[in-house]
């Protein structure tokens, strides 16, 4: 099975025509045959892993349920790929991208082990392969490169987390310049070793025509949701809200967020857990940053969040919890 960039980081799901956020959001427990260990977005739909088997989410009945799809199988990673990482496939000029050159020179281990990536491979649709290698002072503290056309020129940029050994994490954008891929801009690093941040979504969250990148700064200790606008090749922070998280220490699940138009205004919103992981919060940035919903969860959020488009209703969300429970969050 191909490894695909989660829809929550690649774009957004639109609400059905005429839908609006008129009812109450609720979390419903889904009966599962085994403990849920993962949720992944595959071909634009959430795929649930329970007992090592794949299931699709079914919302056609009165209660949400699962439909069996088969045994969970993954394609082998390319040679020298970062263990546990994802090969991302693109739809524009970049065919594939993945992290390589495993290294232990940082040792933070926030993603489950002390092995990070020293380089990124970008494979373009013309068959060329490009390597973006970092110096000895930094690593890619990341598992999934994110492809997005940030400047609207029809070509994808790559969004990654770069961590300096002495200055902590920065958000970096990799783009093609004069025939080669390189880091063209990055946010200021967080200032000290072992300070990390996790991207939460890429979309035009404010409706101003510029692409924004949402991230959670230090999701384990600070919990600041920040919005960075990509404009004229530079990143500029435009908004910040407190009280969020999108990662559990030691977990490889980096997709604890979802991008969709939840309130029906035609602009993408963002769903992600509260800082204590006990609630799912939905945030809109238009016309100003604000929470538009907060839904209590029966147990702490612990894994990736999947989003499912629906006709004439806001998108539904699939959330994996720490006790192995699966819940569907929806508003009918």
Q: Which residues contact 127 (CB under 8 A, 6 or more apart)?
A: none
DSSP tag of 139:
E
Residue closest to 292 by CA, chosen among 261, 318, 255, 257: 261
Q: Is 287 exposed, middle or buried (0-12, 13-18, 19+ CB in 10 A)?
A: exposed
Alpha helices by DSSP H, listed for 152-246, are: none
What pLDDT score was predicted for residue 22? 53
Backbone torsion region of residue 18, taken as left when φ is above 0, otherwise alpha when ψ lies between -120 and 50, otherwise beta: left
Tokens representing 76? 């082998």
Residue closest to 212 by CA, chosen among 225, 200, 202: 202
The per-residue b/e assignment along 216-248, b for 16 or more CB within 10 angstroms, e otherwise, is: bbbbeeebbbbbbbbbeeebeebbebeebbbbb
Residue closest to 280 by CA, chosen among 251, 249, 246: 246
Contact 124, 175 (CB under 8 A): no
What pLDDT score was predicted for residue 6? 41
The pLDDT tens digits for 164-217 are: 999 999 999 999 999 999 999 999 999 999 999 999 999 999 999 999 999 999
Tokens representing 212? 């924004």
Q: How far apart are CA 332 and CA 322, in angstroms?
A: 26
Question: What are the φ and ψ backbone dihedral angles of 7, each rounded to 5 degrees?
Answer: -60, -25
* Residue showing tokens 């880091």: 183
What pLDDT score was predicted for residue 16? 39
- Each of the 332 residues of the chain gets a pLDDT tens digit; together they read 333 334 334 444 544 333 444 579 999 999 999 999 999 998 889 999 999 999 999 999 899 999 999 987 778 999 999 999 999 999 999 999 999 999 999 999 999 999 999 999 999 999 999 999 999 999 999 999 999 999 999 999 999 999 999 999 999 999 999 999 999 999 999 999 999 999 999 999 999 999 999 999 999 999 999 999 999 899 999 999 999 999 999 999 999 999 999 999 999 999 999 999 999 999 999 999 999 999 999 999 999 999 999 988 999 999 999 999 999 999 98
What pLDDT score was predicted for residue 167? 98
What pLDDT score was predicted for residue 312? 87
Q: How far apart are CA 182 and CA 177, in angstroms?
A: 7
Q: Which residues contact 3 (CB under 8 A, 6 or more apart)?
A: 74, 75, 86, 87, 88, 89
* This prediction's pTM: 0.92
Question: What are the φ and ψ backbone dihedral angles of 10, each rounded to 5 degrees?
Answer: -105, -20
What pLDDT score was predicted for residue 71? 87
* Residue 288 CA to its chain's centroid (Å): 22
Contact 158, 94 (CB under 8 A): yes
What pLDDT score was predicted for residue 73? 79
Please tell me whether residue 152 adopts helix, strand or coil conformation.
coil
Which H or E run contains 8? helix 7-10
The angle subtended at Cα 153 by Cα 152 and Cα 155, nearest 5°, is: 105
The pLDDT tens digits for 310-323 are: 988 999 999 999 99
The angle subtended at Cα 49 by Cα 305 and Cα 113, nearest 5°, is: 75
């Amino acid at each position: 099975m191909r490894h695909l960039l989660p829809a929550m980081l690649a774009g957004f799901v639109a609400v059905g025509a005429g839908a609006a956020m008129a009812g109450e959001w609720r979390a419903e427990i889904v009966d599962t045959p085994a403990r849920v260990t993962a949720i992944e977005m595959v071909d634009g739909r959430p795929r649930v892993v329970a007992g090592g088997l794949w299931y699709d989410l079914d919302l056609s009945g009165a209660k949400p349920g699962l439909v069996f799809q088969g045994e969970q199988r993954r394609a082998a990673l390319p040679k020298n790929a970062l263990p546990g990482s994802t090969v991302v496939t693109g739809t524009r000029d970049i065919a594939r991208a993945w992290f390589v050159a495993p290294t232990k020179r940082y040792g933070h281990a926030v993603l489950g082990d002390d092995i990070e990536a020293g380089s990124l491979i970008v494979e373009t649709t013309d068959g060329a392969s490009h390597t973006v290698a970092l110096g000895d002072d930094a690593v890619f503290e990341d598992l999934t490169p994110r492809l997005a056309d940030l400047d609207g020129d029809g070509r994808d940029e790559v969004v990654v987390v770069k961590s300096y050994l002495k200055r902590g994490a920065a958000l970096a954008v990799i783009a093609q310049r004069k025939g080669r891929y390189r880091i063209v801009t990055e946010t200021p690093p967080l200032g000290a070793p072992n300070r990390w941040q996790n991207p939460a979504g890429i979309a035009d969250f404010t409706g101003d025509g510029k692409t924004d990148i949402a991230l959670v700064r230090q999701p384990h200790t600070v919990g600041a949701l920040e919005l960075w606008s990509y404009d004229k090749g530079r990143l500029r922070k435009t908004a910040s809200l407190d009280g969020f998280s999108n990662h559990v220490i030691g977990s490889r699940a980096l997709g604890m967020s979802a991008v969709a138009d939840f309130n029906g205004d035609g602009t993408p919103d963002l769903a992600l857990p509260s800082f204590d992981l006990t609630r799912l919060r939905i945030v809109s940035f238009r016309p100003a940053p604000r929470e538009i919903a907060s839904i209590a969860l029966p147990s702490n959020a612990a894994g990736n969040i999947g989003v499912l488009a629906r006709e004439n209703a806001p998108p539904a969300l699939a959330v994996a919890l720490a006790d192995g429970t699966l819940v569907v969050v929806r508003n009918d």
